Amino acid sequence: AVGRPVITTYVAGIPELVSDGSCGWLVPPGSVEALTAAMAEALNSPVETLEEMGKAGAERVARRHDVATEAKKLSAVFLSNPELPPKQAPIEAPPTSTKLSRI
């Protein structure tokens, strides 16, 4: 998301964020050899390649996991649950003030 290529493991949802060889390196958890190889490849990669990988990663995260997209996904999960109560009017937050007052 910050425009840098990453070296990470195949754990949980990480492969959804990192495409091996495109925006970083994915290595098996616990594999010292694979981690060492990925680090060596990153250190020996031209700066231009690393910049392209970082840009690709940031674009991938923005495209697939921005706040609006994730909110829509979460909303769809909640709305698909038939056990939820009917939709209600939104609850408004109480007004906030930046002024201090004494009681």
Residues of the domain holding 38: 6-79
Provide the Cα torsion 69, 73, 75, 81; round to 10°. Answer: 170
pTM of the model: 0.61
- Flag whether 54 is in a domain: yes
- Flag whether 67 is in a domain: yes
- Flag whether 99 is in a domain: no
Secondary structure class of 8 (helix, strand, coil): strand
- Flag whether 89 is in a domain: no
CA-based end-to-end distance of the chain: 46
Instruction: Report the C-alpha gap between 54 and 18 in whole angstroms.
Output: 10
Residues 73-87 have pLDDT tens digits of 888 888 887 676 666
Number of domains making up the chain? 1
Residues 30-56 have pLDDT tens digits of 999 999 999 999 999 999 999 999 999
